[in-house]
């Protein structure tokens, strides 16, 4: 059984593994630097549906179908599905997945949802209470803009710190088959709120939570940046990434040489006019479920810390003058562990 090491980290013993994964993205994402890695592209943002919300549900159900196919399992083989998204009452997930017949546990972690659903899936498989779980999330530029900011038709001007919500969905089947890559540790984050109030500067609001979770993990595991190939944050973007590095450096922690951010990887920042980078639940989901898991599977990457961050606010809380609480959950992904432990 997973051991609790330090205050916040669970070290897995049975090494739940990624049995299958898939990423579905929109046209703009397919034109970015990671285009070749995505499992499927929907060039029409509506995917033939009559609303963006229904389209986002379609993205999510397609991602799950494809991940199941890649894992070579059926929906009936899955014990629990952990799913969430950014829309009010998480309707992308509930409507997208309602026909699967899988016991459903709805999650809300804002843009940290990919890490949150993957963490819970891993913990359930590790414990033996599930043989297989699915972790899934999505976001959609058009549904997010009209819900969180302005109707697209309004043509509002974007601030320099604004990020661009990714249209896409990522899904992972977590199983107990000992395949590579595996999930070797999980750190669930606490809410951090340093008083930032600008809903167009989410990266800055989320950076303190990322710094706190990374610091907790290093302390709990008695490791540092040199032990990992890559520390991948979710969607801090340009502003949040700088702030994360500053905050950590104040505490004597330097991750700058191995830090990347999904929000900075998914688009060509200048050419694609996305200001501070990509964002949304789908951002870290499609980056993780494409290039990162592929490279871990091929052992081009071996030790990755995936730290997805979420801004736990709503338009209502911002209108009421509240600051933006942030959260970050960390997943330690490793390649080849089962092979290594079989040799030892």
Residue ranges binding a second copy (CB under 8 A): 1-2, 4, 8, 10, 50-51, 53-54, 79-80, 84, 86-91, 94-95, 97-98, 100-110, 116, 119-120, 123-124, 126-129, 147, 188-191, 193, 312-317, 320, 322, 325, 327
Of 88 and 339, which has the nearer Cβ to a second copy?
Answer: 88
CA distance 208 to 223: 20
Residue at token pair 């706190």: 212
| Tokens representing residue 4 in the block | 């609790």
| Tokens representing residue 12 in the block | 């897995």
Of 73 and 327, which has the nearer Cβ to a second copy?
Answer: 327
For the bound state, the minimum distance from the C-beta of residue 53 to a second copy, rounded and expressed in Å, comes to 6
Please state the φ and ψ torsions of residue 131, each to the nearest 5 degrees.
Answer: -90, -35
Of 123 and 265, which has the nearer Cβ to a second copy?
Answer: 123
Of 216 and 302, which has the nearer Cβ to a second copy?
Answer: 216
For the bound state, the minimum distance from the C-beta of residue 326 to a second copy, rounded and expressed in Å, comes to 9
For the bound state, the minimum distance from the C-beta of residue 75 to a second copy, rounded and expressed in Å, comes to 10
For the bound state, the minimum distance from the C-beta of residue 284 to a second copy, rounded and expressed in Å, comes to 16
| Continuous H helices in 149-280 | 202-221, 237-250, 262-265
Of 33 and 106, which has the nearer Cβ to a second copy?
Answer: 106
For the bound state, the minimum distance from the C-beta of residue 228 to a second copy, rounded and expressed in Å, comes to 21
Residue at token pair 């397919």: 30
Q: How many other CB atoms are there within 10 angstroms of residue 219's CB atom?
A: 16
- Alpha carbon distances (Å) from 177 to 129, 132, 288, 294, 325: 15, 9, 20, 18, 37
């Amino acid at each position: 059984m997973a051991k609790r090491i330090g205050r916040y980290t669970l070290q897995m013993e049975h090494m739940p593994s990624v049995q299958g994964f898939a990423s579905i993205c929109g046209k703009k994402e397919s034109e970015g630097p990671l285009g070749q890695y995505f499992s499927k592209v929907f060039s029409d943002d509506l995917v033939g549906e009559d609303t963006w919300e229904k389209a986002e549900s379609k993205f999510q159900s397609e991602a799950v179908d494809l991940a199941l196919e890649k894992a070579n399992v059926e929906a009936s083989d899955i014990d629990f599905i952990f799913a969430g998204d950014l829309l009010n009452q998480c309707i992308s997930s509930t409507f997208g997945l309602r026909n699967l017949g899988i016991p459903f546990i709805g999650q809300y972690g804002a843009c940290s949802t990919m890490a949150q659903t993957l963490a819970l899936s891993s913990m359930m498989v590790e414990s033996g209470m599930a043989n297989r779980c699915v972790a899934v999330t999505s976001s959609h530029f058009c549904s997010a803009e009209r819900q969180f900011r302005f109707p697209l038709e309004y043509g509002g001007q974007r601030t320099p710190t604004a990020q661009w919500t990714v249209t896409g969905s990522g899904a992972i089947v977590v199983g107990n088959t000992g395949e590579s890559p595996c999930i070797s540790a999980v750190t669930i984050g606490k809410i951090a709120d340093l008083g930032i109030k600008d809903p167009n500067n989410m990266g800055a609001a989320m950076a303190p939570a990322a710094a706190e979770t990374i610091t907790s993990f290093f302390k709990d595991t008695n490791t540092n940046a040199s032990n990992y190939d890559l520390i991948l944050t979710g969607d801090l973007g340009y502003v949040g990434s700088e702030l994360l590095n500053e905050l950590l450096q104040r505490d004597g922690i330097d991750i700058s040489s191995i830090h990347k951010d999904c929000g900075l990887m998914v688009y060509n920042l200048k050419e694609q006019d996305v200001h501070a980078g990509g964002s949304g639940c789908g951002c870290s989901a499609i980056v993780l479920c494409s290039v990162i898991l592929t490279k871990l599977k091929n052992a081009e990457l071996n030790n990755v810390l995936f730290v997805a961050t979420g801004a736990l606010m709503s338009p209502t809380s911002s209108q009421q003058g509240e600051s933006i609480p942030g959260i970050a959950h960390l997943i330690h992904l490793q390649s080849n562990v089962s092979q290594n432990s079989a040799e030892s």
